[in-house]
Structure 1
Amino acid sequence: MCNFIHCMSRLLQPNKSVLILLNKMSTKKYKYTKDNVYLTDEQRDFYEENGYIVFRNLVDFDLLDECKNRFLEYCDGKVNTVHMTIMRDMSLKHTDAKGEFLINKIQDFNYDDALFKYVAFKPMVDIVQSIIGSNITSAHTMLINKPPNSKEDTSRHPLHQDLHYFPFRPAELIVASWTAMEKVDEKNGCLFLVPGSHKGTLLKHEYPPNVTNVAYHGVLGLEHLPTVNLPMEKGDTVFFHPLVLHGSGPNLTKGFRKAISAHYANTNCYFVNVTGTLQDNVEKEILKMAKSKGYPNVTFDMIWKVKSRIVRGEPGKFQNFDSQL
């Protein structure tokens, strides 16, 4: 009899998969997250309300060190950069600064095998899945370096929304990861953001006064909004919605401030024509850069499709080059 009662009690206790199914069937409505397979209800609630969430010590140090070493190889000219976008600090271009002391960002490293390990890092992609769904494409990648001795206006990134740069929608199926590669605080230029601003709309972006770094557009006239600083330790990672107003301060130290980031989109996001819209200026700027590199006939959506890479799930619109806007 005791054995029978024990067996029945075990049968009546739902296992993990049943609990997940019950959670998915919750009557609570979520707009900005998909499920709680990899997020708790509390984490989903925080993201829904604030548009961001921080996970401490998420990314392995060995992986971050490998990414840093790869970045230094690019800085030192040891790796072919034909597929990359290399950006230099405008205030240091006419000094004797070289390599790591001059380059402030590399972009579009989806097809670098070393750096893509960060993009495909499973614990991070799991969290992304619970935010945007299981079909995941890496749409944009950056390793951001704030070198010392830079002027404040070229070291900072003004308040902006990432959706400004993207010709794909909907915004709820896009999310950024941003990982500190070393200690980041107010002294060397940590991120700051406006909680809850993801509930608004896309705003007009332009170059703020004295900002000359290419494509460092910002939203003007919102300096009065209260912001939250995000000091982080190495490996800490923040995920945030593409409409969240955010930026970063200047590096006022004699050291570096490195972070690595990826923007993920649901593979079936659809592309929109941004010509003549608030995004017209960034489209023109990027197409001008493409033309200068010998690609005069590419379209804005084609650029984003070419540099994207599927991370998980099934191919979709990002992998379809026959589609027309």
Structure 2
Amino acid sequence: MNPSESAAQVHISPSVQLTGAPEAGAYHLTEEQIRFFDEQGYLILRNWVTGELLERLQAAGHRWIERGLEDGGANRDHLFAQREAGRVMWRVDYVHDKGEPVSLELLGSPQVLGVAESLCGPNFVPTYESMVFKFEGDGEQVPWHQDAVHPRTRRIFNFDLYLDESRVGGGALRVIPGSQGAPADICALTDEHGWDAPDAIQVEMQPGDVLLHDVMVVHGSERAQGKKLRRTIYYEFRAAEEIVEEGPWDREWIERRMRLVPLAIERFRHSGLPGEPFEWRADEAFRPRSLGTEAEELRVVHLTHMAGSYCSAGDVPLKAESKQANSAD
């Protein structure tokens, strides 16, 4: 794309041609989809989460926001940002212990775990879980960034489930396909091109659509006025082998995090939701021992993070009061 083109002319992602509503149980990615993800750094899965599961997640999203507004950030997992219009809530971290069982049911669903196994292998680790959102009329930008920078020996990706539509002209996510191969000079990119970066696309999403994005693909969203509420649930996944080799966490942390997997599968199994439960095939070397106390297993905090790539500390997405090194849009 010519850098002189206006923001409205940035191309809309064509990747819907590669995806569609899957048949029951067919939630592993195809070779074509994996190849597209590896080459482009993202992949759209249309109508991936539907029906009762989507409806329950949308209702849970409203309740997460209500509880955060009620406590005003007293719970540190409820993140607020200072904007021109005042103090605004924008994120809920560690959603599994926030009183809504459906978040764990989603994690244990074949829609999520089939993708995780496809991209990370059988020893996948659920490393982050959050909901990020923008209120109606709150169209603050999320500057260009890479979520995390790593040696790229294995895939690290985010599973982004959209609970609301995200349209061009309303702050839709922008992605630079193929930009995941190396650390990016975000300041130079921003100074030279602004939002009209060469080859950038806009990703339009509907409720129930899923965006898979490599944590190193450059992405962001420009400021938009008068946009509707947009909520996105993010689950990040990495291979246990990658964490062992590169950190930033240890084997004990991996074991604690992987306890979420059998717990989530069991929650899905008893949820009444349609679909065959996922068959977990992790190696015995990584299979965790249950603590027997669900409360301990639902919230495994991060004492350290893998650094991302931003233009400056002042441009970390949404200028959060609490620094989040693994912020996502």
TM-score (norm 1): 0.60
Aligned twin of 2:120: 132
| Match status 1:69 vs 2:62 | yes
Inter-CA distance 79–169: structure 2 relative to 1 (3 Å threshold): farther
Q: Deviations over 1:203-224 (max 9, x none)?
A: 3567x9xxxxxxxxx9765643
Give SS of 1:118's match.
Answer: helix
Whether the aligned pair in 2 keeps the contact of 1:89 and 1:104 (CA below 8 Å) is: no
Q: Say which is worse superposed, 69-78 or 218-227, in terms of deviation.
A: 218-227
How many Å separate the matches in 2 of 1:254 and 1:267?
39
Whether the aligned pair in 2 keeps the contact of 1:182 and 1:257 (CA below 8 Å) is: yes
Aligned twin of 1:118: 106
Aligned twin of 1:185: 167
Whether the aligned pair in 2 keeps the contact of 1:58 and 1:124 (CA below 8 Å) is: no
1:107 to 93, 100, 109: 93
Inter-CA distance 259–160: structure 2 relative to 1 (3 Å threshold): same
Identity %: 17
| Match status 1:269 vs 2:242 | yes
Inter-CA distance 220–160: structure 2 relative to 1 (3 Å threshold): farther
Alignment of 1:39-188 (within 5 A): 39-60=29-50, 61-77=54-70, 82=75, 84-93=77-86, 102-112=88-98, 113-150=101-138, 155-164=140-149, 170=152, 172-188=154-170
Return the letter of the residue paired with 1:57. Answer: N
Whether the aligned pair in 1 keeps the contact of 2:173 and 2:202 (CA below 8 Å) is: yes
Question: Considering only aligned residues, what root-mean-square deviation do their CA atoms show, in Å?
Answer: 3.8
**Ranges in structure 1 where 5+ consecutive residues have no aligned partner:** 1-35, 95-101, 209-217, 275-299
Pairwise CA distance, 1:63: 3.4
Q: Deviations over 1:76-102 (max 9, x none)?
A: 4379964624233433335xxxxxxx2
Whether the aligned pair in 2 keeps the contact of 1:143 and 1:261 (CA below 8 Å) is: yes
Aligned length: 235
Inter-CA distance 125–273: structure 2 relative to 1 (3 Å threshold): closer
TM-score (norm 2): 0.60
How many Å separate the matches in 1 of 2:102 and 2:72?
12
Q: Deviations over 1:218-271 (max 9, x none)?
A: 976564332111101100001111111111233422531221111111123236
Pairwise CA distance, 1:144: 1.5
Aligned twin of 2:205: 232
Aligned twin of 1:243: 216
Inter-CA distance 139–80: structure 2 relative to 1 (3 Å threshold): same
Pairwise CA distance, 1:49: 1.8
How many Å separate the matches in 2 of 1:39 and 1:145?
27
Return the letter of the residue paired with 1:55. Answer: L
| Match status 1:201 vs 2:149 | no
Give SS of 2:49's match.
Answer: coil
Give SS of 1:172's match.
Answer: coil
